[in-house]
Each structure stands twice: as C-alpha cells, then as structure tokens.
Structure 1
Amino acid sequence: MNILISDGRITEITSKKITSYDHKINGMGKFLTPGLMDSHAHVSSIPGMGFGVEPVAIKHPKLVKAYFEQQPRSFLYHGVTQILDPNPGVSFNYFTSASLRPDYFRCEVLTSKNTFPYVEKRDDLSRSMFTYLIDENAQATEENSVERLIAKIAHSGASCIKLYFEDGYGNANQWATLSTNTLKRIKLSAKKSNLLIVAHANALDMQQLALGAGVDVIAHGMWNWGQYNREKNIPKEISNTLDIMINDEVGYMPTQRVIAGLGEVMLPTITNSPEFSSITPKSLIDWYRTTEAQWFKEELRIGFDGMPDQSISDAFLYGRIGKGNKIIQYLRGSNHPILLASDFPGSPSFANQPGLTTYQEMKAMITAGLSPEEVLAAATINNSKQFKIDDDYGTVEVGKIANLLLLKANPLDSIESWNSIETIILHGKPIARESLVVNK
C-alpha cells in the first residue's frame, strides 16, 4: 500500500500509485506500524537521582542538563511517539519545550497532607511537587475542596487524575488513605469534568480499595501477596478481585519494569550494554559507576539484612515479577486489554532508562505469556482507546496523526523486531533512528 501524509496526518491509503508529493520514503520490504504509546512515564524523574528535587540532582546540574536534553530523543529512538505522564513533577517543562519529542499527555496528582505521597516527603522542595492538596473537610465551594481542585485540574489541560492508594511499602501500613467519602466526591467530580482516574496500587488490599472507588485504570502489578510459587494458581481472593477489574473494564498497567529496575540495579554490569550506552549520555554512565551513585543500592541492601547483591536481585527478578506474570496471565485468559506502561523509571534505580525501559516492558509482556499481536495492541490501540485519543492515534488509518514507525523486521514474528526501527515518523516528518543516538 501507499500512504500519503499531509499536514502531519494520514490523508490517503491506497494500492494505487501516488504521483504528487514532496518527499518519498521507500518502505519496500519493511513494516509500518503506529507509533508506540507509553502510558506511564515520569519525564521529570532522572534515573539514579530521583525527581530532580533530591540533593544528589541539585549537586550535579551538568549531568541533569545532559540527561534532559537526551531524554525525549531516547524515547523516540525506541519508537515512543506518545507519552502519558501521571505525575509531572517540577521539571516536565524540560521535556515539553524540546524541539523534538513525543506527544505529551499528563495527569495531575490529587492527594492530601495526610496521605501518600505527600506524607512521605520531608522538605519543602519535594513537597512543592504537589499542587493539588485536598482538604478533606472542605465544602464544595471552598478553595481546597475536591470539587474546586478537580475543576482546576480540568482547566489546566490534564487528561486524568492520579490517585495513590498506598498505606506503606511492602507489608507496612503506617500511612492513612483518602476517606471513602472523599473518594466518592472525587469520582463524581472527575466524571463531571470528563477526567479519567489513574490509581497507583500494587498490593491486594490497595487494589481492592481502588476498585471500590471506581477508578478507570490501575497502575502496577499486584506484587505484594504471599509467597510466589510457580506451580500454584493465584489465590481465590486475588482472582475475585481481578474479576471485578475485568467486569468493570478497568484498564491494567502491569509495569513489570518497576520491579526489574530494582533487581537489575544490583548487578554490576548493568551499564555496559550497547542498548544502554546508545541512549544514555556518557557523562551520566560515568557517574553511575562512581561510589556516590550507589546510594539507592545501599538503601535496598538495608532492607535485606546483609544478603548478597545477587540474592537481592533474584528476589525482585523472580519472586515479585513471577507474581505479576500470574496476574497478566489471568487477565489474558479473559481477553482483558493490557496497557503498555513502563512507569519509567519506577524508582531512583539507574537500571531503567527512557525508551529502553518501554522496550524492555514489551519484552516482559512476552515473558508473561502475551503474543506479539497482543503486545502490539497494548502499545498502540489499547492505550489510545483507554485514554480516549483513538481518533488521533493507535492505528494506521486515514485522518489520524502520522506518528508511525518503519521497521526492518516484522514485529508479529519476534519482540526483538521492535529494536529494528529504521525511521520514526513524527507528525509526518521522518527521523532516522541513528540520528537519535547519544554517544556517537
């Protein structure tokens, strides 16, 4: 087929010869797909440094600058032409002001001073990340009420609201969560403002709370439940909860790379791969190899009582990821659509890098049992439908924005084909993949 693009959109798809055009891309023998959408990526966050408000980031402004200059190019290198950022942080303007970048959508975080993530922060700069702080006792007409804040979020141009259902990491439960009444008010106001609700929740009880609140999307694998056993089915309480997710058509983001990033940061050779070095500034790689950059690894070691690094890595890469895979397999059995969402970088781990983490999340979906066709859908049309942008994105179709990828290999044959991208087409403009490499 021949495809004609005009003013950044697909205007014709035909088997006939097109004779009038300004520029021609020869796709003979290659494979054309929609551009990928990563529906959970934090562009303010710097791998190995945090959200840019931590002391280590403030200490190294040149490294931060080098990272932010390359970040949008790294996403494009791996075929990501749309991003949804569920927590923009304080530095997302670096991304949105870039001359060459994926299309950017965002949620805004709605929280309170008594709940996560605000309650975890210890300094004013970190707390400044949260603009929309609810006073749960405020009436609808008051400044910090649910209703007034959601109206402001809608007016800001955001696509969704992000809520955190988190009462403590792992088995801890020291933090309060938003009250049932507040959650009802949020749901009503969000629906009135046509805003989706994306929920952070990775434990069984927190996902149950999120489903009870009527959220539209749940981000994160259900990692925190019992002991992982490869041979056993998931417990009945979990399957019952997943059935609610299926019946209520709640979108699901596995975000397996969150756990993988925690495990891989413990491996001493993680920065040595060609894939890593092609999209990560050399100055940053050099810093990752310093003693100072190991601060997050030291934090992880504290929680494992002197276990060797390899054993800590295995605890994440096999136990918790194994639980997440079982959830994916159960949802797949009911044809529940999975969403490509890497939660890049997912933690202060430097193992996860922009774009590369999206590709690795796609590979993790294959490991979990999805087919290449299902991964393609997760990365394109599923995300577009879930976030109500499928009029513009998600398929190669007349009228849609021309965010496309030209691959050398068929992505329905092998997941590795997604690393064979030759050309990224962004709003109709072709970009050679090799031009996006950082360390030439």
Structure 2
Amino acid sequence: MGVNDISGAAEPAEAGDASRRTILKSMGVAVAGIGAAAAVGGPLVTSLTNNEPARSVMPEAKALRIDHVTVVDPRDGSSRRDMSVLVRDGKIASVTASAKVETTADVKVVDGADRFAVPGYNNMHTHVLQEKQRSKLFMAAMLADGTTGMRQMAGSDDLLLYRRERRLPLGADTPGLHVMPGALLMPFNAPSVSRARSEISRQKDLGADFIKLIQVERDVFFDAVSWAHANGLRIAGHLPPTVSPYEASEAGFDSIEHLGTSTNIWIETSSDRSALRDKGDTPGALPNWLGYVPFSQRIFSSDIATKTMAKRLLNPALMNSQETVTITQAALDSFDEDAAVKLAETFARNSTWQTPTLVRLRTQYLADAPEYKNHPWLKMVSAEDRGAFQESRKKFMDLPAETRSTYHRYYATTLKMIKVMHDAGVPIMTGTDGPSAVPGQDLHAEFQEMAAAGLKPLDVLRSTTTNPASFLGRSGHMGAVATGMDADFLLLDANPLESVDNMTKISAIVRAGNFATFQEISATVDNLLSKAEG
C-alpha cells in the first residue's frame, strides 16, 4: 500500500430511625434534595427512549503500520525513538525499530514523521450516554480530545440492555465503553438494607459492571459496600453526609468521585473537625421516605422533573444553604495539612481511588471566571442549554461577595488536596463529569488543572492511561503502546513528558485499530454539529 504523510494532518419497618438529615418538611424541599444528592453529574436515568436504537457495528480495521515515531511508555516514563507500530485486528502486533521493518502488501503504511505515540486517554467519569440528543456529537468531540475509552457513571435498565444488544451509539468515531453501572443507588431504590441488596443483585443480573451510589442511609451505605463486593462488583460514587471519608475508605468504598461532593472532606481536614462534625449536617439531603412513596422514582425521572433537575445541576453550589456555606468557610479557615496528609495516607493504604473531576468542581466554585462567559464549548450545545447556563452563571455572580470568596477558596484548597493525595500515593484518575451544557468539562482542561495542582506531566499522563488500566484490571491490554495491547493510541506533535500542553497537540488517533487524522475527526464533529443545529 502507499505511504501516507500526516505532516498536515414498601418496607417501612426497615426504614430505621429518622435523622435530621433525612426529615424534610415538603416535597418541594425533596426536589431540591435530589439536586443536592446528585450534586455533580447528569440527571437521574431510568429509561433512554421508547424507540430501540439501531445496532452499532464496528468497522473492520485494516492492517496498519505507523513508522518513525517516538513511543512513550507511561509505565516507566521511557521513550524509544524511530519506532514502527504494526496494528492488526485491532491489536498492536509489534513495536520495532523502523530501520528493521519490511514492507508488506496488505499493510497500510503511515509516516509518523517523528511524532510521539502514547496510549489513548481515558475519561473515567462521564455521563455522555445519558445525552438523548447529542451523544454522538459529544462522543466525537471526546475522541478529538484523544479520549479512546470511558467509564459511564450512570446507567439504566435500557442502557444495560442496549449494550448487550450492541445498540449503544458506539463505533470507531467514538470512545470505547469500558464499564457502566445500573441505576443510581438512592433512597428511591435503596431505602433499606434489604432493598439495597435486592437492587444490587438485580443490577448484577442485568450486567452492571459496578454500583454507583449517590446517597443512602448510613447503615445502607456500609452494607451496600459489603454486598456489592460479595457479588463481585465494585462500588463508587458520592459520600452521604453521614459517612466520613475515613469510614468510607476503611469500609472498602472503591472510588470516591468529586472528592465526595459535600463538606465532609473539609471537615475531616480541619483542625476544628470535632466541633465541625456536630454542625456538619448537610441540608437538602434526600429523604429516605421517598423509597416508600409509590411511583416516586418514576415521578422524579419524568421528562419534566429531569429537565428541572438538569437546570439545577448546572451549578449545585447554588443550592447550598447559608449554613452549608458557613460550615465550609470555617473548615477552610482551619485547613490542617497534617490532617490532610493523614487522610490521604488512609486512602493510599486502602487503595481508595479518586476521580476528582477538577474541571467540574472548577465550574461550580469558579463559575464567575471570565473564560466561561463565551467559552468555545457553548457552540456545541443547544440554544436552550446555552441560555440556561448563562442564567446559572448570572445567579452565581449575584451571590454575596463573601460566599463567592469562600467558593474560590474551596477550589484552591481542592488543588492543594490533590497534591497532598498524589504525594501520599493515592491512585488518581482523570474524569470530567461531562460533556454537558456546562463548558470547560473536557479532558484537556482536566490535564491543565492537574498540572496546576502540582502534578508533573508524566503523572498526568499516567492518570489518564496506566492508572485507568490498573483500576479496571486491564493493564495487560491497555495503558501502553506495546505488543499485544489494544490498538487505542495517539500521535502527538510534541513530547508529552515535557509539558501537559503537549498532551493536547494531537495529530492522529488510532481507535480499535482504525486510523484517523485529527482533521478528519474534527470534520466529523463539525458535520454532527451542523446536523444537530439543522
């Protein structure tokens, strides 16, 4: 083949004792509680659509060899210059010196032109499959960012069925789906230990890869962790306000998302933590009695409720009470680095993974940052979503100056905590919580925020390649450009070990063995955007 040059290229008896956290006085407050509990992430998901989507077919990848590249191995930080990567049947068949390769008739040859070959990136916290209208567009944009694999963080019976039947909108022009849970574990479906166990077992039978927990009663939380593990499933998600990060880690909670989503991590890293714990009840928590109200989950997952919650979730910080803001301020005022190190060491000892989704936290607590006003991402969403976001941003800017100052410090302390955790050996992965109507939730921005926290380029590269492979138990076939690995890798125009900026300079992407230049993928994004707007 010719050589291509890419140089241009009902159980009320089990409800337990009611706590102050879960007694809300009206259904209206309960609605607000849904937003507070979901905190960060997409709307509740129970059904995708009444119409079955078409089956997706991955195109057969032709044999491919890319010559004259520097292969960067995040596992040890090494680089090998002038190498050739041979791909067959969606796998890397060999990685050899370019000078030793021989031309084979059935192999398409691409001149890598001294570019840098790195494993594909992984977004380990996304809600993209929940998008009803623009999922293909958003996934194409993710691929253009170098995302070749993803962990979907909310599922449903429908989504699990569609995956089994290969009806999810996945292909060579989207990231691959690594794992997905079933419905979020909440008071709707898990108001008691027995109901939670039943739901976890049911989700396993449907094919869920792990359990995503949002908020449940304290006794339900600890039993859910044990029951998920007993069923061979991991459990990840948010921390209920009644459970401290220490307790969650010691119980074996596998992965904490968004640093836990409430004030509890800052209470535990405060020198005044004993006093703050007594004040740390988070208002607006989901009431457990919702699990005993007939059809409550169906009501709150209706189209109207979902749309309302979607607007609230544009910035969950806007739902915080003054009490919560005051507690947060006091905790940040008394941040104790020794306490932070102790907590981080607990996470490291117990292998409590962290997917902080810094870019999502940034959009919550630095929503008045000027770059969000006319961010390029806003052109990717509908006019309705753009208007809702601008309205949300205005509400943030209208908050009292002292509140916004507290939120700014919240994010600055978040970056500090990420560095403390990294230095203690806590395993960290990249995730964005997007894409959505909120701008700035892209993987490249996440790289920048990790760098701002003090992580070196190699650390950031590992957080999106080798760390996800290790978390998934797939280090034998992902996370490196090496013989036998899945053919999901990128060609970069500059050395990613020198700067995180270079991790964003993508020249070409190989997805399941299918080669495409960045320009080709960008054209796909533009075409899908045109169709969405048409």
Q: Give the alignment's TM-score, normalised by structure 1.
A: 0.74
- Counterpart CA distance in 2 for 1:421 and 1:232 is 43
- Counterpart CA distance in 2 for 1:329 and 1:267 is 23
Spell out the pairing of 1:211-226 with structure 2 (5 A cutoff). Answer: 211-221=249-259, 224=263, 225=266, 226=328
Spell out the pairing of 1:13-92 with structure 2 (5 A cutoff). Answer: 13-15=95-97, 16-20=100-104, 21-44=106-129, 65=133, 67-88=134-155
Q: Which residue of 1 aligns with 2:304?
A: none
Counterpart among 212, 216, 225 of residue 162 in structure 1: 212
Q: Which residue of 2 aligns with 1:294?
A: 390
Rate the CA distance shift 1:137–1:183 in 2: closer, same or farther, 3 A: closer
User: Does residue 1:342 correspond to 2:426, yes or no?
Assistant: no
- Counterpart CA distance in 2 for 1:91 and 1:358 is 27
- Counterpart CA distance in 2 for 1:43 and 1:90 is 16
Spell out the pairing of 1:250-261 with structure 2 (5 A cutoff). Answer: 250-261=352-363
- Counterpart CA distance in 1 for 2:371 and 2:153 is 31
Rate the CA distance shift 1:435–1:188 in 2: closer, same or farther, 3 A: same
Query: 1:205 Cα shift?
Result: 5.2
Indicate the SS of the match to 2:109.
Answer: coil
CA radius of gyration, larger in = 2
Indicate the SS of the match to 1:260.
Answer: helix
Give per-residue Cα distances to partners, 1:361-394, cap 9 Å, x unaligned: 1110000000000001100011110121223211
Rate the CA distance shift 1:41–1:416 in 2: closer, same or farther, 3 A: same
Indicate the SS of the match to 2:515.
Answer: strand
Query: 1:208 Cα shift?
Result: 3.0
Q: Which residue of 2 aligns with 1:246?
A: 348
CA RMSD of aligned residues (A): 3.2
Could you tell me whether the CA contact under 8 Å between 1:44 and 1:89 is conserved in 2? no
Indicate the SS of the match to 2:113.
Answer: coil
Counterpart among 170, 187, 190 of residue 134 in structure 1: 190
Rate the CA distance shift 1:184–1:212 in 2: closer, same or farther, 3 A: same
- Counterpart CA distance in 2 for 1:202 and 1:151 is 21
Indicate the SS of the match to 1:208.
Answer: helix
Amino acid aligned to 1:296: S
Q: Which residue of 1 aligns with 2:510?
A: 425
Structure 1 portions without partners, runs of 5+: 47-63, 119-132, 139-143, 166-176
User: Does residue 1:373 correspond to 2:458, yes or no?
Assistant: yes
Rate the CA distance shift 1:200–1:435 in 2: closer, same or farther, 3 A: same
Q: Which residue of 2 aligns with 1:127?
A: none
Indicate the SS of the match to 1:31.
Answer: strand
Q: Which residue of 1 aligns with 2:483?
A: 398
Query: 1:265 Cα shift?
Result: 4.3
Indicate the SS of the match to 1:4.
Answer: strand
Could you tell me whether the CA contact under 8 Å between 1:264 and 1:351 is conserved in 2? no
- Counterpart CA distance in 1 for 2:150 and 2:207 is 15
User: Does residue 1:319 correspond to 2:409, yes or no?
Assistant: yes
Q: How many residues align?
A: 369
Could you tell me whether the CA contact under 8 Å between 1:325 and 1:368 is conserved in 2? yes
Give per-residue Cα distances to partners, 1:299-333, cap 9 Å, x unaligned: 5467x34x49xx84x654x4112111121121222
User: Does residue 1:2 correspond to 2:74, yes or no?
Assistant: no
Query: 1:429 Cα shift?
Result: 0.5
Rate the CA distance shift 1:267–1:235 in 2: closer, same or farther, 3 A: closer
Give per-residue Cα distances to partners, 1:135-187, cap 9 Å, x unaligned: 5253xxxxx450x432332233322111125xxxxxxxxxxx4233x344323
Structure 2 portions without partners, runs of 5+: 1-82, 267-327, 528-534
Could you tell me whether the CA contact under 8 Å between 2:191 and 2:217 is conserved in 1? no
- Counterpart CA distance in 1 for 2:336 and 2:242 is 12
Give per-residue Cα distances to partners, 1:111-144, cap 9 Å, x unaligned: 243xxxx5xxxxxxxxxxxxxx235253xxxxx4
- Counterpart CA distance in 1 for 2:153 and 2:390 is 27
Query: 1:227 Cα shift?
Result: 4.3
Indicate the SS of the match to 2:108.
Answer: coil
Spell out the pairing of 1:98-137 with structure 2 (5 A cutoff). Answer: 98-99=170-171, 100-104=173-177, 105-113=179-187, 118=188, 133-136=189-192
Amino acid aligned to 1:254: P
Indicate the SS of the match to 1:87.
Answer: coil
Query: 1:262 Cα shift?
Result: 2.1
Spell out the pairing of 1:144-223 with structure 2 (5 A cutoff). Answer: 144=195, 146=197, 148-165=198-215, 177-180=216-219, 182-201=220-239, 206-221=244-259
- Counterpart CA distance in 2 for 1:254 and 1:293 is 22
Amino acid aligned to 2:440: N
Percent of pairs identical after alignment?
Answer: 21
- Counterpart CA distance in 1 for 2:445 and 2:141 is 13
**By percentage of residues, which structure has more helix?**
2
Amino acid aligned to 1:12: S
Amino acid aligned to 2:345: D
Rate the CA distance shift 1:137–1:331 in 2: closer, same or farther, 3 A: closer
- Counterpart CA distance in 2 for 1:228 and 1:405 is 45
Could you tell me whether the CA contact under 8 Å between 1:190 and 1:197 is conserved in 2? yes
